Copies of this chain bind each other. A is one copy, B any other.
C-alpha cells in the first residue's frame, strides 16, 4: 500500500506516527438496516474524541432496491456479482442514500463529517478484480489509499465517512468490500497514526462457544490464535467458530502491517470496545 503518486497535496506531513491515535471503525448491515440502532450508534460515534474514520457497508437495501427494479442478483462465494445495473444500484444506495443520511445525522450531532467514496479526493484507487474462473463484474481490489488526503480531512477536523465503492484510474466505479476498505485504510494510515481498527458485527466478540454470547475471548495474540485454530478437540473441530477464521486472518494481517490493535465486537458497545471493556482485542504479540 502506498500513497497515490499523482495526488497533489498542499499540506505535506512529516513521516512517522506524528498524528497520534486514530480510530478506524467499520459498521455493517446489522446496524445500517436498523434505523434506531444506527441512530444510537451515530450518537455514540459522534461523542468519541479525537481523529476517527467511519467505514460503512451496504446492508440489505441494495438487494431490496435491485429486487424492486427487477435486477437479478447473483452471489458467488459470498460475493455479489456486480453487473452494470447492479453497480448502478450499489452506487445509488451506498454512496447516495446510506452515506449522505449518515453524514447529515452526524452533522446534526455536531460531528463535522464528510462522505466519501474511493473516487472523492482519490481516497482509494482500485482495479477491477481479475479471477481465473469467475467474472465478478465491477468489483474492485484496492491498489492504494490516499493517506495525505485523509490526513488533510482529519487535520481540518473533518471525519471521513466512507462508502464501499472505489474507482479505477479510468473513472470506472467499483463495488468493494467494506471490511477490506477498513483494513486497507487502517494499514495505510498506520504510517501516520497509531491506528486502532474496530470491526463491529452482530456478536459480542470472538466467542469460544458460538451459542454463548458471554463466552467472549478478551484477547488473542498469535500464539493463542494458533492454539484456537488447531483441531485439538476430540471431534477434530477447531476451538472457535470456523466462520470467524477469515475475519481473524484479516485482523492479524492488519496488526502485522502496522495497525496497533484490532477490536471485534458490537457497535452498540463502541464506547466499551474502545476502552477495552468489551469485545475481543487482537494484538501482534
Contacts and interface: CB of A to CB of B under 8 A. Distances in A.
B156 A108 contact: no
Contacts of A121: 112-114, 158
Interface residues of A, number: 50
Contact of A96 (B94, B109, B170): B94
Interface string A70-98: 00000000000000000010011111110
A1 interface: no
A8 B95 contact: no
A63 to B, nearest CB: 14
Given A110-B6, A115-B119, A121-B112, A100 B91 contact: yes
Contacts of A11: 156
A172 interface: yes
Contacts of A114: 116, 120-121
Interface string A7-47: 11111000000000000000000000000000000000000
A107 B167 contact: yes
Nearest to A101: B173
A10 to B, nearest CB: 5
Given A108-B171, A157-B8, A88 B97 contact: yes
A119 B92 contact: no
Nearest to A122: B107
A103 interface: yes
17 contacts: A68-B69, A88-B97, A91-B100, A92-B92, A92-B93, A96-B99, A100-B120, A100-B165, A103-B120, A103-B167, A104-B119, A104-B172, A104-B173, A106-B171, A107-B167, A109-B171, A121-B158
Interface of A: 6-11, 65, 68-69, 88, 91-97, 99-101, 103-110, 112-117, 119-122, 152, 155-158, 165, 167, 169-173
Given A92-B97, A107-B122, 17 more contacts: A8-B112, A10-B155, A11-B156, A65-B92, A91-B100, A92-B92, A94-B96, A103-B119, A103-B120, A104-B167, A106-B171, A107-B171, A112-B122, A114-B120, A114-B121, A115-B119, A121-B158
